[in-house]
């Protein structure tokens, strides 16, 4: 067995999973101590703190000669991983610090997407027993209106899914439903509310020399993995080993079509529907001239006009899902 000695900079989001992480942390720490793992802990004390912690850590280690001495380990859900990766990437290191992620949030779509174990102890072994960084595809976006950029492991959504994320996060019931392990219910009630309020919007998809114009776009998601929204398999063929991104554009359905699409989605056959459009590209440019909600890896982006470029890059992950 090859042994590789790395130290972990743990970014702990005790609020993820509706507070489940706070309860689990003593058990996780016991495993780390029993295995004599070298680690430092930084707690996320406010929303957005994980990004700052990762960025500061990366800057402090910018001159490390050995790139794989440290691993930044995000303990939480997709949002915590998103923030840790964003902070690391924003430091622009020549030798990027590998990122790992213990999926103990509510949705954990990225973990499902890369086939990590669903049991946290087994997932932790896939990190602690990893012997080399695994370079996976991540997405990058550039918003020309705001002149800001960012990275994503999972997806960027415009319209319906983003409005659902915004609505579910602001619902007072989210916290206790999460505590009861019924986080999906908070999304379900948000889906129903958003269906009645979200309007169709015009969208231009610019790929190479081609421009496709949709007058009634409704759900627009650029995805790097099969899942979004806490386990919904929106793009079965998507893979982090593929250098391309997938774009799905769904035009506004009526209630009957929506139910039909929901059934097709459950059967994994929705990509065959005429109102579902699919692109598989390394570079995409999306333009939506109305203010639409956005979500990135389940985190709210707020409402904005969209004139946004998407592409992919590779980032080292300290996770071996084959273990």
Ligand X SMILES: Nc1ncnc2c1ncn2[C@@H]1O[C@H](COP(=O)(O)OP(=O)(O)OP(=O)(O)O)[C@@H](O)[C@H]1O
Which residues lie near ligand X (CB under 6 A)?
13, 15-17, 44-50, 76-80, 105-108, 230, 298-299
Min dist CB 125 to ligand X, Å, is 20
Min dist CB 273 to ligand X, Å, is 27
Nearest CB to ligand X, comparing residues 14 and 281: 14
* The two three-digit tokens of residue 91, written as one number: 């430091």
Nearest CB to ligand X, comparing residues 106 and 308: 106
Nearest CB to ligand X, comparing residues 134 and 153: 153
Q: By the 8 A CB rule, do 156 and 310 touch?
A: yes
Min dist CB 66 to ligand X, Å, is 29
**Using the 8-state DSSP alphabet, how is residue 103 labeled?**
E
Please state, in angstroms and rounded to a whole number, the distance separating the CA atoms of residues 74 and 77.
Answer: 8
Nearest CB to ligand X, comparing residues 45 and 131: 45
Min dist CB 120 to ligand X, Å, is 13
Min dist CB 300 to ligand X, Å, is 8
Q: By the 8 A CB rule, do 153 and 83 touch?
A: no
Question: Which runs of E-coded beta strand occur in the chain?
Answer: 7-12, 39-43, 70-76, 99-103, 134-143, 148-152, 155-159, 201-207, 210-223, 227-228, 232-233, 245-251, 276-281, 284-296, 299-317
Nearest CB to ligand X, comparing residues 201 and 318: 318
Nearest to 241 by CA among 310, 154, 314: 314
Nearest to 277 by CA among 221, 198, 194, 200: 221
CB atoms within 10 A of CB 229: 24
Nearest CB to ligand X, comparing residues 13 and 137: 13
Min dist CB 190 to ligand X, Å, is 13
**Using the 8-state DSSP alphabet, how is residue 97 labeled?**
P
């Amino acid at each position: 067995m090859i042994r590789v000695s790395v130290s972990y900079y743990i970014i702990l989001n005790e609020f993820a999973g509706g507070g489940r992480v706070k309860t689990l942390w003593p058990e996780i720490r016991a495993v780390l101590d029993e295995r004599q793992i070298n680690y430092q802990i930084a707690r996320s004390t406010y929303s957005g703190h994980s990004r700052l912690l990762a960025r500061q850590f990366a800057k402090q280690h910018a001159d490390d000669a050995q790139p794989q001495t440290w691993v930044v380990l995000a303990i939480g859900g997709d949002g915590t991983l998103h923030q840790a990766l964003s902070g690391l990437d924003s430091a622009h290191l020549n030798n990027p610090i590998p990122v790992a992620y213990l999926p103990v949030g509510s949705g954990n779509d990225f973990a499902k997407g890369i086939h990590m174990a669903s049991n946290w102890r087994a997932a932790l072994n896939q990190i602690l027993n990893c012997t080399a960084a695994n370079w996976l595809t991540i997405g990058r976006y550039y918003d020309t209106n705001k002149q800001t950029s960012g990275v994503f492991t999972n997806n960027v959504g415009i319209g319906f899914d983003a409005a659902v994320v915004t609505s579910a996060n602001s619902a007072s019931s989210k916290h206790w439903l999460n505590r009861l392990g019924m986080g999906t219910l908070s999304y379900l009630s948000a889906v129903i509310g958003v269906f009645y309020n979200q309007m169709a919007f015009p969208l231009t998809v610019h790929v190479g020399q081609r421009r496709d114009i949709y007058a009634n776009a409704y759900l627009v998601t650029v995805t790097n993995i099969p899942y979004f929204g806490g386990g919904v398999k929106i793009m079965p063929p998507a893979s982090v080993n593929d250098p391309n991104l997938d774009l799905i554009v769904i035009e506004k359905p009526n209630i009957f079509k929506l139910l039909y699409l929901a059934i097709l989605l459950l059967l994994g056959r929705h990509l065959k529907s005429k109102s579902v459009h699919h692109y598989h590209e390394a570079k995409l440019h999306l333009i939506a001239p109305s203010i639409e909600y956005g979500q990135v890896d389940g985190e709210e982006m707020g409402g904005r006009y969209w004139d946004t470029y998407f592409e992919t890059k590779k980032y080292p992950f300290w996770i071996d899902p084959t273990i």
